[in-house]
Amino acid sequence: MNRDLIVSSTPQETKAALLEDGIVSEIFIERDAHRGIAGYVYKGLVTRVLPGMQSAFVDLGLERDAFLHVADVFEELPENLLTPEEQAAAAAQSRNAPIEERLKEGQEVLVQVLKEPLGTKGARITSHVSLPGRYLVFMPTVEHVGVSRKITDEGERRRLKTTLKEIRQERGGGGFIARTAGQGRSREDFERDSLYLGRTWDETRARALRERAPALLYRELSLVQRLVRDILSDDIASIRLDSEREFRRTLDLVSQLQPELGPRVRLWNGSESILDEHGVTTELERALRSKVWLPSGGYIVINQTEALVAIDVNTGRFVGKKTLEETLLRANLDAVKEIVRQIRLRDLGGIIVVDFIDMEERKSGQKVLAALEQELKRDRSPSKLLSVNEFGLVILTRKRVKQSLERTLCQTCPYCTGSGMIKSVATVCSEIYEEVRKLLPEVRGQRLVLRVNPDVARALASDEAAVLKELAGLVDREVSVQGDPLLHQEQFDVVPM
């Protein structure tokens, strides 16, 4: 599979898209004025400790206080004053202590943002800091060595663990996780990464000693730098950018990470927009719609709520050619690939419920589930299939770190306030009748003018003409209608003349 990274930059924002075999699979947007804070390290001030929730709220200098659970609290112990046995015993006792014994109001804490503020919720934070590099993730507060689950070869996993344990011992502590990009890399690559991350952590701690809380201590790389760091590999066919400044910065970074891939970084000089040329603009528009059509003629409907994401599969125009079971299986399998692509494209997270079309045979459901598991392996974000029930519902979870694409690009509709529905024309006509009935003592005997939305005006002249006739009978005078395009469909005025 060939992958291409497309980047378009303006002074206000950066848009990037990852193409797999020419098809847009992921879209990333970063605005300078609203840059995400996931991964940032802060020196925060504890504002409230809640024993009943075993959590605390911490002021980071943001709009809302951040949320810190007791499981994410780390206390640095004075190593030079304790023996290793005493250190281990104190650490175990600290881990089991309740939140009120570990944190006090007004206390300063060093924390990292796990999840961006979402909706009305503040950021989720942890004091277990992790700093990502090219091949490693450095965790200064734990003594742990791990390997990415996507590296499946047992021999390679053992080699990487041995290498990281040796590097950890030389450094004198801390934990490391080998990233997927570290597969097959030499010890020197890991040592270089660990030295860089160690220096970054030392500088962050030194800054924490100088700054007063709340203060930002460490900022993650820019969007393009993060993408290059995380996805740069031999299967990246090209990195195309339309900004000369971003092109030079990216070329410098690639030259440091994998010099042999430098020629694949190219400056876009086409006459058409780089996003339009590669179909990114079209996919961005599709990703904001709830209904997505499938090549076979079926479609899926995606709805985001506060608690979860619901995805419904429908056959649509797809009628199949063989048996009903074969038709339904084909429609579900056709939907699987697009569902995973849309999950990645829209960056959907949390609990995701997929309602596949009901099938009779058990083996059909197993085929759909196997296809879904296979497609999810392409996703860089961790996900887990939880259950499949007899009604065709599949529940999965996907790690949510930041706002979804829809939440980033859109705001709640001021008319429907997020419900996606407005009152029908017939309902508005009924409300007009009820309103005139309430005003009857004041308007009886007077001519009335109804100022309404043009769609409501048309209905009162045709399907809902009986309402107008009833109103005229109530007030015993003429009732006229005036269409006003500036009025929302649910708005109307009753004007006595």
pLDDT at 80: 45
What rounded mean pLDDT belongs to the chain?
A: 86
Q: Is 66's pLDDT higher than 70?
A: yes
Q: Where in the chain is the domain with CATH 3.30.420?
A: 3-35+221-281
- What's the number of CA atoms in the CB half-sphere (13 Å) around residue 231? 26
Cβ(69)–Cβ(77) under 8 Å?
no
Name the strands in the sheet holding 175-178, side by side, starting at the edge strand that comes first in the sequence. 131-132, 136-139, 175-178, 145-147
pLDDT exceeds 70 at position 95: no
More confident residue, 12 or 492: 492
Q: Residue 382 phi/psi, 5° resolution? A: -65, 140
Give, in words, the CATH class of 3-35+221-281: alpha beta
Which residues make up the CATH 3.40.630 domain(s) of the chain?
287-409
pLDDT for 77 beyond 50: no
Distance CA 353, CA 391 (A): 12
The owner of tokens 């589930």 is 369
The residue-averaged pLDDT of 151-168 equals: 90
Calpha distance 425→427 (Å, rounded): 5
**pLDDT category of residue 231 using cuts at 50, 70 and 90:** confident
pLDDT exceeding 90 applies to what percent of the chain? 37
Q: Where in the chain is the domain with CATH 2.40.50.140?
A: 41-218
Homologous superfamily (CATH) of 425-496 is: Ribonuclease E, catalytic domain (3.40.1260.20)
pLDDT of 216 > 80? The answer is yes
- pLDDT of res. 401: 67
For residues 172 and 7, the model is more confident at: 7
| Confidence at residue 82, expressed as pLDDT on a 0 to 100 scale | 42
CATH class of 287-409: alpha beta
Tell me the pLDDT tens digit for each residue of 280-321: 989 888 888 889 998 888 899 998 887 789 999 998 887 777
pLDDT of residue 18: 92
- In degrees and rounded to multiples of 5, residue 405 shows phi and psi of -60, -40
The pLDDT value given to residue 93: 54
* CATH number among 2.40.50.140, 3.90.550.10, 1.25.40.80, 2.60.40.1220, domain 41-218: 2.40.50.140
pLDDT band for position 105 (cuts 50, 70, 90): very high
Q: Where in the chain is the domain with CATH 3.40.1260.20?
A: 425-496
Closest CA to 380 of 132, 75, 11: 132
| Distances from the Cα of 201 to the Cα of 71, 166, 264, angstroms | 22, 19, 32
Q: Which of 75-84, 149-158, 182-191, 435-444 has the lowest mean pLDDT?
A: 75-84
3-state secondary structure of 300: strand
Using pLDDT thresholds of 50, 70 and 90, give the confidence band for residue 126.
very high
pLDDT class of 46 with cuts at 50, 70, 90 = very high
